[in-house]
Amino acid sequence: MKTSANQPSARYEADRTDPPAHAAAVTPFPTRPTEHRQSAPVQEAAPEMVQQEHGDSSKITPMKAGIIVAALAIIGAIAWFAMRDPAAAPAAAVGTPAASAAPVELAAVDVSSVESRVLSRALPLSGSIAPYVQATLKSKVGGEVEQLRLREGQDVREGEVIARVDTRNLQAQYDREAAAVEKARADLELARLNRDKNRALLDQKFISQNTFEQTESAYAASIASFKLAEAQARVAKINLDDAVIRAPFSGTVARRLVQPGEKVSPDSEIVTLVDLKQMVLEAAVPSAEIPSVSVGQKVRFRVAGFGERTFEGEVQRINPMTSDGSRAIMIYIAVPNPDSALKGGMFAQGELMLNATEPVLAVAQRAVRDEAGVTYVYVLRDEKIVRTPVTLGPRNKGDAFVEVREGLSPGDQVIVAEIGDDKAGAVARVRKSEPTAAVASEVARN
CATH number at 175 reads 1.10.287.470
Q: What percent of the chain has pLDDT over 90?
A: 36
Nearest to 124 by CA among 325, 354, 310: 354
Within-domain flag for 157:
no
Within-domain flag for 272:
no
Rounded to an integer, the average pLDDT of 293-315 is 92
212-221 confidence digits (pLDDT tens):
888 889 899 9
CA distance 328 to 321: 9
CA distance 388 to 377: 5
Residue 215's domain comprises: 167-242
What pLDDT is attached to residue 42? 39
Shared-domain flag, residues 172 and 236? yes
Shared-domain flag, residues 181 and 114? no
Sequence-distant (≥ 6) Cβ neighbours of residue 223 within 8 angstroms: 188, 191
SS3 309: coil
Average pLDDT of the chain is: 79
Within-domain flag for 160:
no
Shared-domain flag, residues 114 and 172? no
CA distance 26 to 426: 68
Band of the pLDDT at 15, cuts 50, 70, 90?
Answer: very low
What pLDDT is attached to residue 76? 75
Band of the pLDDT at 344, cuts 50, 70, 90?
Answer: very high
Q: In what order do the strands lie in the sheet with 401-406?
A: 115-117, 360-364, 401-406, 391-392
Rounded to an integer, the average pLDDT of 66-78 is 77
Rounded to an integer, the average pLDDT of 259-274 is 92
Within-domain flag for 294:
no
Whether the predicted pLDDT of 278 surpasses 90: yes
- Looking at residue 321, the DSSP 8-state letter turns out to be E
Band of the pLDDT at 6, cuts 50, 70, 90?
Answer: very low
Least confident of 67-71, 126-130, 337-341: 67-71
Within-domain flag for 113:
yes
Within-domain flag for 403:
yes
Sequence-distant (≥ 6) Cβ neighbours of residue 100 within 8 angstroms: none
Inter-residue contact 219 to 197 (CB < 8 Å): no
Nearest 5 degrees, angle CA 203-CA 208-CA 213?
Answer: 90
Look up the pTM and report it: 0.52
Inter-residue contact 117 to 362 (CB < 8 Å): yes
Nearest to 344 by CA among 257, 278, 283: 278
Better-predicted residue by pLDDT, 425 or 277: 277
Within-domain flag for 80:
no
Q: How many domains does the chain have?
A: 3
Buried b (16+ CB within 10 A) or exposed e, 375-395: ebbbbbeeeebbeeebebeee
- Looking at residue 206, the DSSP 8-state letter turns out to be S
Cα R_g (the chain), whole angstroms = 57
What pLDDT is attached to residue 236? 92
Rounded to an integer, the average pLDDT of 90-94 is 39
CATH number assigned to the domain comprising residue 372:
2.40.420.20
Of 179, 208, 242, the one marking the end of a domain is 242
* 258 phi/psi in degrees, rounded to 5: -135, 165
Band of the pLDDT at 18, cuts 50, 70, 90?
Answer: very low
Inter-residue contact 168 to 214 (CB < 8 Å): no
Within-domain flag for 88:
no
| DSSP string across 118-182 | --EEEEEEEEEEEEEEEEEEE-SS-EEEEEE---TT-EE-TT-EEEEE--HHHHHHHHHHHHHHH
